[in-house]
Chains A and B, each alone.
Chain A
Amino acid sequence: MTPPTAATAPKTSQPPELPPTDPRGHTADSPAPRGATPAPRRQDGKAAAFLLSPTLIVLALVIFYPLLSAVGQSLYSSDAGLDDQGFVVQGDVFVGLQNYAQIFAGPESARFYNALWNTTFFTVVSVALETVIGVMFALMMNRAFKGRAFLRAAVLVPWAIPTAVSGLLWRWMFQTDGIVNTLSGAQVLWTAEGMAAQVAVITAEVWKTAPFIGLLVLAGLQIIPEEVYEAAKLDGATAWQQFWSITLPLVKPALLVAVLFRLLDALRMFDLPFVLIGPRKESVETLSILAWDSANQLEYGMASAFAVVLVVYVAAIVYVFVRLLGADIFTSSDAATPRKRFRRAAADDAVVPPARQPGARTTTHEVKQP
């Protein structure tokens, strides 16, 4: 790995276009805003546009065009009907917002609300469980030294298994005469319908993704310098207090990013309920499955409307999450995040041992500040 200080290198360096003798570099009063010098920026702009446009064009074609198209299609209905003159109308009929009205208040809106509830329920329960188990794993792995390589490999296995395969795997384990019922001595029909099916889906989801959260949190844990804990211990903090007022606040940025990515993933859950239980099963039908099923029945208008509603729902949840908790995924590392600043400070500490603080409390306090 590159030393943490290397991350700062690109910023402090000269813009490459400037000849080293450029007088601007030598004016003593204004040494700082080198990156903001107008001349090289204009030149870079062309190169940047040239390099970025292929990516942006492709993304526009594979994401923004389909999204706009979904919004457009959601205003049409593919039901063939009769027009004013009594002719059979083939193909699409413009129906305005009727599809949305159907979704929210139509005769079949119960199916939508059920799918919305399932999506939300699966997301909240599984992400909560994943986070707790993931943090526990990370704390355990942070302590383990002998089996570290083994643990890292083991944790990656559930992550690497395709979700569809893990759906099959759990379907097999949740069989009526499968291993789960054998071990628990129960006779539950896990893969049929109802609460048991939901438990099965959540179990499989948590199994697959908790280790992933564990990995991300572990990465956050590893950059907390040990001195912080030493200081807290001198102060007589219990293990629980250390966890609650040092570990948790310091891994919070890493944890929030992990949870946000998991939220996004869980909200579009499709493969797992689809393979583990099946499509058109009331108790596990998510919004993604509902939209897919409509498209499969060639009701593209309704399917698009479902997809649009799901996008809006996801966007709303992300917005609330970022707003409430301040998860920071969009800021590029150019703006030094608290964590980065902290890591840099920690790296400096490693080189030059800091003078002993007057009291341990100050050290802990300082760390909490950024």
Chain B
Amino acid sequence: MKILVCISHVPDTTSKINFTDNNTKFDTNGVQFVINPNDEFGLTRAMWFKEKQGASVDVINVGGAETEPTLRKALAIGADNAIRVNTPATDGFQVAKQLANVAKEGGYDLIIAGRESIDYNGGMVPGMLAALLKANFVNTCIGLEVEGTQAKVVREIDGGKETVTAKLPLIIGAQKGLVEESDLRIPNMRGIMMARKKPLNVVEPVDVTVQTKIEKFEKPAPKGAVKLIDPDNLDELIQLLHTEAKVI
């Protein structure tokens, strides 16, 4: 089985979010970048297929040269090849289109992408990629087994879960639950050394007409101070929630 894992290069979850250039650009100053957590769950599941079922695993990212350390980390975790599409990621559709262009040549049986990135939270890429490739698609996956050309996927739905079956080639939107948090891998020294020798291919982008454009960013208004309630006077809390906040 040939697997492609789409990797988004995102600010670490502890990052403070700021903007520059009159609030039009994300301020990367002092920000640590990581593999998008939803992609990391997918990558770990791909490693399982590699080790247990003899799959090959490529990783791909759409972005400038600054994203290469993130791809190298995926190689150090165990991916076989990395591909970087040499263009900044601008919107979900543009990214999906670039990914589709590479994927259609690659003959992948399974493509895994995080259900959303933790920066722009668009939740577009896996579904758009599937539609562009005319492949089967299952979102919010929390379980995946593949036997021959048949996949059994468990996906999270509002208030529960659902089991579906689909034939390969298949695209899934991965998320927490697809593997246990404790199974996520930290690259070891051997992996890091080996990653240096693994291929990281840079491919040039195709032309895409942009569909959405971010004009500016804004931070939420600062919040007023918390109202502290005496633990011996919980009636006051109930009254405040009822009359002031009007939520009960």
Chains A and B belong together in one complex:
no
Which residues of B come within 8 Å of A, CB atoms?
A: none
